Amino acid sequence: MSIPYIINYLLLITWLLIPFKQAKTSFFLYFLLYAISSAFVLIDQTLQIVHLAYFYLGVGFFLIISLYNFKKIPHYIFFLTGVLIISIILPFILSIEIITVCLVIQHIAIFFIILKRTVLYINEYEKLNLFQFILLLYEITLITRFIVVIGNIKTGILFFYLTAAFGIFIGIFFLFYNELNSPKIPLADKSILQ
């Protein structure tokens, strides 16, 4: 087995385990969706059922929703059903190139949702939650990975495996820390800035 396959399998297995540590946190569904997608990728690498971009498009919609308390949405079951139907229909309408652009847009939205949470946390506690910061770094790697795919950059394969290896280290962090028990880094006292 080659090194890229080993890196890929380690990445997928790591992300399959993360939801167990993230249970009872506001990011549980987010990591559960990544675990489900990791399981699908493991199966698809063997059976080659569908182009992964089609699958990731639907996962991206649900990742965004998972960062909100969707139970506050009236008739949320109908909303979730609508999102599911849209994520099934769109791959038949859109090309892989357009889907990849959609993936970049989805992950930029996810980045800003997490960034908003991070800024609110910093404002309230005057500390940086390392968990949120690492999660932002992970989203940046996903965004750049998709941009490299769109640009069809020749170094894309190397970059893909480097970010996959980085994803393993990030995943290991999430196996030990969640939003609640993550180290909090105190920020400068406001009086210093005045």
Q: Could you give the CA distance from residue 87 to residue 98 in angstroms, rounded to a whole number? A: 14
- pLDDT of res. 31: 95
User: Does residue 117 carry a pLDDT above 50?
Assistant: yes
- pLDDT of res. 183: 94
128: Cβ–Cβ under 8 A, 6 or more apart, which residues?
118, 121, 122, 184, 185, 187
Query: In the chain, what percentage of residues exceed pLDDT 70?
Result: 90
Q: Picking from 3-7, 83-87, 183-187, which range would have the lowest pLDDT averaged per residue?
A: 3-7
* Alpha helical stretches, state H, the chain: 3-22, 28-47, 52-66, 76-93, 96-125, 130-151, 156-176, 190-193
User: Does residue 41 carry a pLDDT above 80?
Assistant: no
Q: Could you give the CA distance from residue 103 to residue 37 in angstroms, rounded to a whole number? A: 14
Three-class secondary structure of residue 23 per DSSP? coil
Q: List the domain boundaries for the chain.
A: 3-185
- pLDDT of res. 53: 77
Q: Could you give the CA distance from residue 23 to residue 174 in angstroms, rounded to a whole number? A: 12
- pLDDT of res. 193: 47
Q: Could you give the CA distance from residue 33 to residue 106 in angstroms, rounded to a whole number? A: 14
Report the pLDDT averaged over residues 145-154. 75
Exposure string (b/e) for 60-81, b if CB count within 10 Å is 16 or more?
bbbbbbbbeeeeeeeeeeeeee
- pLDDT of res. 105: 94
